[in-house]
Every structure is written in structure tokens, then in C-alpha cells.
Amino acid sequence: MLIEDALRRFLDEDIGHGDITTDALVDPAAKATGTVICKERAVVAGLSESIILLKLLGCEGKPRVRDGQEVPAGTIVLEVRGFGRALLKVERVLLNLLSHMSGVATATGELVDIAKKNRSSTRIACTRKTLPGLRFFEKKAVELGGGDTHRLRLDDAVLIKDNHLELAGSITESVRKAKTKVSFTKKIEIETTSPDQTVEAALAGADIVLLDNMTPQDVKKSMNLLEAKKLRDNVLVEVSGGITKKNLASYLKTGVDVISVGWITHSADAIDMSMKLHRLKKRD
């Protein structure tokens, strides 16, 4: 129901008080059928949302592929059917969401493929750097691309960052406070920017250490230091900041558990999609 509400808001935002072009030109009794074509290689995401959007305006949709499937350019991914006016009103919102979600899934899939080619078990994750109102859809797209959704919201886990430390105290003290005040069911993660801070976080009892904006060399130093002090098995190690397709392999070689990337949600290139409609004859 919450998903439907969000999708309905997307439609309301676009339609406003009505599609004056369509209402002026198209016979309200005219029916149409059509196809949505993916015009470039992509991991498709957003088909289930597309079906809901169509239903909200009294139309029908039939997927020709599945969410999470990689397809070549020129693939028909969805068939649509309904009153012409309704299909024209849903067209742009449907294509925008499908293009964006598929872009996120495709970008994620490319990073996951790099990890596989390097025979790495490191998880590729996104962050909370999502566009307002689109977090659920972007996180779902990451999952469909083979990635990890990380935290969905602030109440999912404790993540102590540099500004928390500035206002709340040292790494050790911040972890202590979190363990005292937050349920034992919630993991505690802390951001570090140097090998020494990484060791302090592990000694303090953090479940996850996030190495932020470190070079691959500094990440490896941190990993070696954790190993030397017999702390490596006590924590998951995540790396984030400045990760690209070009340097991902260098970070994979350090042996970290998770690599999180913000741009796969907020800056992934949209996939080129188009909808082609055809008017049905009255006997259809």
C-alpha cells in the first residue's frame, strides 16, 4: 500500500489538473496497445512498479522479461494495453522510474561483475545517498543488480560518523554510549580515517568498521594492523569513498568485507527506454 501511495504521488505530480494535450486530441473511447523498448544493454528494474502504475490508471501491463534480468539493446521489456488517454498520462512517469531503476541496477551489476571477475567475495553495497522520495526504489534496484542495500533508514543500525565524533566524543566513548543506549539487536558501525582509528574502533567493540576515503594502500595497512593485533575476526570491514569502476579492483585486493558506493544510486546513468503506442480498431 505504501508503494502504491508513492506511485500515485508520482502520477499526481506529473498529471496535475489534467493532461490538456491528450484530452484535447484523443478520443476518450480510443483504446491502444504498445510496447516498452529498452534501447541499450541493461539490467532491468522497475517492471513490477510499472505494472502498478498502469493499474492505477486502469491499464494493463505484461512483462516480457523479469526484474533483475540483463537484456541486450532493442529488447521489448513490457507490453501495455488500455485507453489511449490513460496510457499517455502514465507514459512519462513509467519510463522515468523504469529508466532510473534500471540505471541503478545496471551500475550495481557492473561493479558486482568486477568483483566476480576478481574472484572476490566482497559485497558491493549502496549508501543512504539516495534521491528524496526514491530511496525504496533505488535500494530495490541495487538489490536487483546483485548489490547489498546497506541501511534503509537511520533506525536500522548505529553508524557513527565524523560529525558524531565531533559532537559526542572519542571513538571508544561513542561506542560505549551506543552499546549502553541502543538495543543489543542493532549492530554498531563506526567510521575511521586512519589505521590507528580502525584499531581503536575494533578494540572498543564495534561490529563494523567503515574505512572512509582511504587509499587502497592505507586500507591494506589497516587490515594488516587488525591481523597483527588479532582483531580481524572481531569486525566486518567496510570501505567507502572515492570508489570507481577503474579502482574497484585495487580495493577488492585488500580483502575487505564490504565496499559501499554512493554514486550507484544518486548518479547512475538512466537507461534509454521508449514506449510505442498503436491505436486499436474498434473490433479489438
- Torsion 227-231-237-242 (CA) sign: negative
Per-residue pLDDT, 43: 98
| Active-site residue (options: 8, 92, 179, 253) | 92
| Active-site residue (options: 62, 116, 161, 245) | 161
Q: What's the rounded mean pLDDT across residues 150-177?
A: 95
Residue 119, amino acid: R
Same domain, residue pair 219 and 241? yes
Per-residue pLDDT, 1: 63
245 catalytically annotated? no
* 173/176 Cα distance (integer angstroms): 5
Mean pLDDT of the chain, nearest integer: 96
* 62/42 Cα distance (integer angstroms): 19
C-alpha cell at 66: 523479469
CATH of the domain at 102: 3.90.1170.20
Judge whether 157 lies within some domain: yes
Judge whether 124 lies within some domain: yes
pTM: 0.94
Q: With H, G, I as helix, E, B as strand and everything else as coil, classify residue 207.
A: coil
Residue 133 predicted with pLDDT over 90: yes
Structural domain range at position 184: 112-266
Judge whether 59 lies within some domain: yes
Per-residue pLDDT, 281: 81
Same domain, residue pair 137 and 68? no
Judge whether 220 lies within some domain: yes
* 30/52 Cα distance (integer angstroms): 22
* Residue from 215, 211, 218, 227 nearest 259 by CA: 211
Give me the number of domains the chain comprises: 2
Judge whether 119 lies within some domain: yes
92 catalytically annotated? yes
Residue with the bigger pLDDT between 139 and 283: it is 139
Same domain, residue pair 128 and 76? no
Q: What's the rounded mean pLDDT across residues 28-50?
A: 98
Backbone angle region of 18, left / alpha / beta, with phi > 0 → left and psi within -120 to 50 → alpha:
left
* 144/276 Cα distance (integer angstroms): 26
* 154/157 Cα distance (integer angstroms): 7
Same domain, residue pair 127 and 194? yes
Name the burial class of residue 202, with classes exposed (0-12), middle (13-18) and buried (19+) by CB atoms within 10 angstroms of its CB.
Answer: buried
Same domain, residue pair 161 and 237? yes
* 90/139 Cα distance (integer angstroms): 23
Same domain, residue pair 46 and 160? no
Per-residue pLDDT, 284: 54
Same domain, residue pair 176 and 128? yes
CATH of the domain at 194: 3.20.20.70
Same domain, residue pair 47 and 59? yes
Same domain, residue pair 75 and 162? no
Same domain, residue pair 169 and 218? yes
Judge whether 250 lies within some domain: yes
Judge whether 156 lies within some domain: yes
191 catalytically annotated? yes
Judge whether 284 lies within some domain: no
Same domain, residue pair 251 and 160? yes
Could you report the per-residue pLDDT of 220-272, keeping only the tens digit for each?
999 999 999 999 999 999 999 999 999 999 999 999 999 999 999 999 999 99
276 catalytically annotated? no
| Active-site residue (options: 64, 129, 179, 186) | 129
Same domain, residue pair 161 and 77? no
Per-residue pLDDT, 2: 86
31 catalytically annotated? no
